[in-house]
Amino acid sequence: PITPGELLCIGSSLAFSGLFYYLYRKKARAVARIQGAPKLQVDEDLPALVSAADGRCLPYVALEGIVLPAKAALTSHYHDGLQGVIQKLLLKEHRLIWNSLARSW
């Protein structure tokens, strides 16, 4: 005989397992799309390629090329000859959804 407490534990365990599997599959699909992204070179053809794309946007693209720093390049304290730059502009789009309970976007 199975008690109601055991049924509750089994049911909640199955629900959490289903939720975590759903989240895992969702992230795995995103990683697969990123890993399969086309690699483009930063050159004179890139602006024409972007303007020809649908919506003037290229989703999940890996850009390869030389980056010039705005002021000065950062040098590594741990590896001689290693330099880097910091990304100055980050574009992040958020989708607005109306929350009727809080009456806000």
Domain boundaries, the chain: 4-84
Give pLDDT tens digits for 83-104: 888 766 666 777 777 778 877 7
* pLDDT score recorded for residue 47: 87
Mean confidence (pLDDT) of the chain: 86
Q: Can you list the pairs that 39-46 forms with residues at least 24 positions away whose Cβ atoms lie under 8 Å? A: 39/63, 39/64, 40/64, 41/65, 42/66, 42/67
Q: What is the pLDDT of residue 37?
A: 86
38-51 pLDDT tens trace = 888 888 888 898 88
What is the Cα 49 distance to its own chain's centre?
A: 22
Please state the rounded mean pLDDT for residues 68-76: 85
